[in-house]
């Protein structure tokens, strides 16, 4: 038996010890170091090259090399040994399959990593024209999504076709691999011109794949160049009623002709009577109503907005927008919840123990128009790649996708460093309830990022100007920083005049804002800021008394005496004034004309149910004669001093 035959047999038998002995050179043979060129991955280590045995020998029948056999056996130790002795990582078998093709088909992500680290080429095509990406799309591997991400990151070209003219996307559609179709469509605007995949899915009745492709923007009426027909024609021909309905929802035309002058109607007419009636009824229904669905995943590039899209300032983040509860989040770890992305700390994470279909909901407490979103992330495979921004009328959905975005891998690789922002614009939509749905990451085993911020404005500001037919002021007001409703209502007259120079318009807006303030800043709470004195002589003036209320409230409040036992004099009814953090009311020159012990409080004039009682009683003492004489003496002394100053 020759050394090459012995080598192949040893690898077949997974005999690591014998392999090491076989590859060690005898004294009369030479061995030399080889500097393997560095690839874009982690390869480039020093290798040993043997000359006494052909490390790349092949079996006669299959063309398997020792490395291919080790891959098929799943023996990573023998693989590493063969690679150390300079085994070719790209040498193919008789069918053109490289070790990477076979590892991909087997779904061995760990072996794929080893091969890529050792400079495996990702776009080699086998005798059928299939690349490793094609192979993954027809395998049953559990890690197929991760394999797609890993190969793509290594430079796999998703636009290469095999000898049948099929893209990896077409193969995934044929094999009903919805998750792989989604991966291949993510971020690939050029894929929306694909016509083969949707026809393959339609004629096989893969209705979920059909819907997914339509959601990514593939034209339901596109004619495939090879088949010269449309998806609806083939769905009808092969009796795929559910696939046909999905196509009709997105605007497929049953009267569109293919190259044979066939329409979906004419094809349906040739079906058995019951099926023909079923299809024609469906066609007539959607012909009357028109499309009922729109593509969800309209790809938008980071930082680029269309001319008719608004660009509003950043909204001040409110941590109460989201919660760590089932209604607000479907996936997080105990120590790194979704609430971390609103905590203002760019070093904390929302950690998602999944790579896809994770979401968190934001309740803005009122309708907000959003025009942009910031995602703070880092340079890691765990970083979010594709996410959807969605809206709903309820915290529990159903959800409608506004836009789909792709995050880059940017920032530090150190999780202790602050996250780096990526801005996404190109949309303008309004809702109280918003949701971020993570579709994929950059190949990590889990997903995490640091923070989110939003550009936009409270819809109530926009509606105020609409009511007055003064929409011309909406954008200037919002872009000047008044995108928060309460901040806008608290703007001073001078600030407002700068934004609304026309006097008549200013008066209209100011009047409307006054009405809005009363509603928005209604009296809800009262607290003591400066308590009343505990005792005072009858008729004497108490030191000023101060209460505090909610920010922006300008209602009137009044002093009251519990039990109405007596009356007080002075400024007992005053208006609350806002000072930037809260509103206050100061009661001055308060006095009592009846001796006794009383408990006083403050209440809203229009909302007497909102009140606060003084925690202690006030003792009103009688004025004695001595006190009056002492006061008179002080007055005489003061008069004398004033007289001396005049001399």
Beta bridge partners of 618: 598
Domain ranges of the chain: 1-165, 167-292, 319-455, 460-520, 526-621
Q: Which of 295-309, 387-401, 605-619 has the lowest mean pLDDT?
A: 295-309
> How far is residue 299's CA from residue 227's CA, in Å, rounded to a whole number?
28
Yes or no: say if 607 and 523 are a contact pair by the CB < 8 Å rule. Answer: yes
Give residue-wise pLDDT tens across range 230-277. 999 999 999 999 999 999 999 999 999 988 999 999 999 999 999 999
Q: What is the largest CA-CA distance in the chain?
A: 136
pLDDT tops 80 at residue 58 = yes
Same fold, 1-165 and 167-292: yes
In which residue are the tokens 């092969």 written? 238
Tell me what pLDDT residue 451 has.
Answer: 97
Residue 25 pLDDT:
65
**In contact, 256 and 236? CB cutoff 8 Å:** no
Residue 536 has pLDDT above 50, yes or no: yes
Residue range 402-443, pLDDT digits in tens: 888 999 999 999 999 999 999 999 888 889 999 999 988 998
Whole-number pLDDT of residue 45:
55
From the list 48, 49, 53, 45, the residue with the least C-alpha distance to 3 is 53
Q: How far apart are CA 494 and CA 218, in angstroms?
A: 53
Average pLDDT over residues 530-547: 93
Closest by CA position to 101, among listed 39, 41, 168: 168
> How many other C-beta atoms are found inside a 10 Å radius of the C-beta of residue 612?
16
The two tokens of residue 1 are 């038996």
Whether pLDDT at 77 is above 90? yes
Per-residue pLDDT band at 636 (split at 50, 70, 90): low
d(CA 527, CA 549): 7
Q: For residue 647, is pLDDT > 90?
A: no
* Domain over 319-455 is classified CATH 3.30.110.70: no
Is the pLDDT assigned to residue 631 strictly greater than 70?
A: no
Residue 446 CA from chain centroid, whole number: 16
pLDDT of residue 43: 42
- Residue 356 — pLDDT band, cuts 50, 70, 90? confident
The pLDDT of residue 299? 45
Pairwise CA distance, residues 190 & 571, whole Å: 74
Using CA atoms in the order 321, 324, 325, 328, what is the torsion angle rounded to 10 degrees? 40
CA distance 202 to 231: 6
Say if CB 434 and CB 364 are below 8 A apart.
Answer: yes
Write down the mean pLDDT value for the chain. 87
- CATH code, 1-165: 1.25.40.20
What pLDDT score does 304 carry?
A: 39
Residue in the block written with tokens 């309820």: 394
Kindly report the CATH class assigned to 526-621: mainly beta
Q: Summarize pLDDT for 272-284 with one digit per residue, the tens.
A: 999 999 999 999 9
Would you state the pLDDT for residue 541? 93
User: Percentage of the chain with pLDDT > 70?
Assistant: 89
Cβ atoms within 10 A of the Cβ of 591, count? Answer: 15
What is the band of 34 on the pLDDT scale with cuts at 50, 70, 90?
A: low
pLDDT digits (tens, 9 = 90+) for 178-214: 878 877 876 555 566 667 889 989 999 999 899 888 8
Judge whether residue 303 has pLDDT over 60: no
The SS3 assignment for 611 reads strand
- pLDDT one-digit tens code per residue, 367-377: 999 999 999 99
CA distance 237 to 247: 14
> Is it the case that residue 156 has pLDDT exceeding 80?
yes
- Specify the pLDDT at position 191: 63
Looking at residue 204, what is its pLDDT? Answer: 92
Which residue has better confidence, 40 or 566? 566
**Cβ count near 580 (within 10 Å):** 8
- Residue 300: the pLDDT is 43
Strands (E), 30-118: 31-35, 46-50
Please report where in the chains the tokens 């780096």 appear, as a residue.
420
Taking only the tens place, the pLDDT of each residue in 78-99 is: 999 999 988 999 999 999 999 9
pLDDT of 38 reads 40
Structure tokens at 192: 């929306």
Q: Are 434 and 375 in contact (CB under 8 A)?
A: no
CATH architecture of the domain with range 167-292: Alpha Horseshoe (1.25)
Reported pTM: 0.52
* Cα–Cα distance measured from residue 400 to residue 20, given in angstroms and rounded to the nearest whole number: 60
Does residue 160 contact residue 126 with C-beta atoms inside 8 Å?
no
Question: Crossing angle for the helix pair 3-12 and 66-73, nearest 10 degrees?
Answer: 10
Closest among 596, 506, 517, 502 to 555, alpha carbons compared: 517
Q: Which stretches within 137-272 are classed as H helix?
A: 144-153, 168-174, 178-185, 196-203, 207-215, 231-237, 241-249, 264-269
pLDDT for 40 equals 36
User: What is the mean pLDDT of the segment spanning 502-511?
Assistant: 95
Stretch 296-314: mean pLDDT: 60
């Amino acid at each position: 038996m020759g050394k090459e035959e012995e080598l192949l047999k040893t690898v077949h038998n997974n005999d690591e010890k014998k392999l090491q002995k076989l590859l060690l050179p005898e004294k009369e043979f030479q061995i030399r170091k080889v500097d393997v060129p560095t690839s874009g991955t982690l390869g480039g280590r020093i290798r040993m090259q043997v000359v006494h045995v052909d490390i790349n020998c092949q079996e006669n029948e299959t063309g398997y090399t020792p490395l291919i056999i080790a891959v098929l056996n799943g023996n990573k130790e023998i693989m590493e040994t063969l690679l150390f002795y300079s085994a070719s990582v790209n040498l193919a078998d008789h069918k053109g399959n490289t070790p990477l093709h076979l590892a991909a088909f087997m779904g061995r992500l760990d072996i794929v990593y080893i091969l890529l680290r050792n400079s495996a080429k990702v776009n080699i095509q086998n005798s059928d024209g299939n690349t490793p990406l094609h192979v993954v799309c027809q395998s049953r591997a559990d890690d197929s999504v991760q394999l797609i991400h890993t190969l793509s990151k290594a430079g796999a070209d998703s636009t290469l076709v095999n000898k049948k003219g099929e893209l990896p996307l077409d193969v995934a559609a044929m094999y009903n691999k919805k998750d792989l179709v989604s991966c291949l469509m993510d971020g690939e605007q050029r894929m929306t011109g694909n016509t083969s995949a949707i026809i393959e899915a339609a004629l096989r009745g893969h209705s979920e794949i059909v819907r997914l492709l339509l959601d990514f923007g593939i034209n339901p009426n596109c004619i495939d160049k090879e088949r010269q027909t449309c998806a609806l024609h083939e769905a009808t021909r092969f009796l795929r009623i559910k696939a046909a309905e999905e196509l009709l929802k997105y605007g497929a035309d049953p009267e569109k002709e293919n190259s044979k002058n066939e329409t979906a109607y004419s094809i349906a007419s040739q079906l058995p009577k019951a099926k023909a009636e079923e299809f024609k009824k469906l066609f007539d229904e959607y012909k009357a109503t028109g499309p009922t669905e729109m593509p969800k995943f309209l790809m938008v590039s980071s930082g680029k907005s269309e001319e008719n899209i608004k660009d509003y300032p950043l909204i001040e983040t409110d941590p109460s927008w989201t919660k760590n509860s089932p209604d607000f989040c479907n996936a997080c770890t105990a120590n790194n919840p979704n609430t971390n992305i609103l905590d203002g700390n760019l070093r904390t994470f929302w950690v998602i123990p999944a790579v896809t279909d994770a979401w968190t909901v934001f309740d803005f407490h009122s309708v907000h128009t959003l025009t942009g979103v910031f995602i703070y992330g880092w340079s890691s495979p765990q970083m979010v790649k594709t996410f959807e921004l969605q809206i709903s009328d309820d915290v529990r959905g159903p959800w409608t996708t506004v836009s789909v975005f792709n995050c880059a891998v940017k920032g530090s690789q150190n999780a202790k460093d602050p996250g780096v922002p990526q801005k996404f614009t190109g949309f303008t939509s309004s809702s109280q309830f918003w949701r971020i749905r993570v579709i994929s990451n950059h190949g990590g085993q889990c997903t995490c990022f640091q923070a989110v911020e939003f550009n936009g404005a409270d819809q109530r500001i926009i509606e105020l100007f609409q009511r007055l037919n003064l929409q011309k002021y909406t954008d200037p007001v919002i872009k000047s920083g008044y995108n928060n409703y309460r901040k806008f209502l608290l703007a001073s007259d001078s600030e407002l005049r700068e934004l609304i120079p026309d006097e008549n318009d200013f008066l209209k807006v100011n009047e409307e804002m006054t009405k809005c303030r009363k509603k928005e800043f209604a009296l809800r709470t009262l607290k003591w800021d400066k308590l009343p004195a505990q005792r005072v002589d009858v008729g004497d003036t108490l030191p000023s008394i101060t209460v505090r209320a909610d920010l922006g409230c300008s209602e009137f409040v009044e002093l009251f005496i519990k039990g109405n036992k007596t009356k007080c004099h002075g400024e007992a009814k005053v208006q609350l004034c806002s000072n930037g953090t809260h509103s206050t009311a100061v009661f001055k020159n308060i006095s009592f004309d009846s001796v006794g012990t009383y408990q006083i409080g403050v209440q809203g004039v229009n909302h007497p149910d909102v009140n606060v009682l003084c925690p202690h009683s006030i003792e009103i003492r009688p004025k004695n004669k001595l006190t009056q004489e002492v006061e008179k003496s002080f007055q005489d002394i003061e008069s004398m001093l004033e007289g001396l100053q005049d001399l």
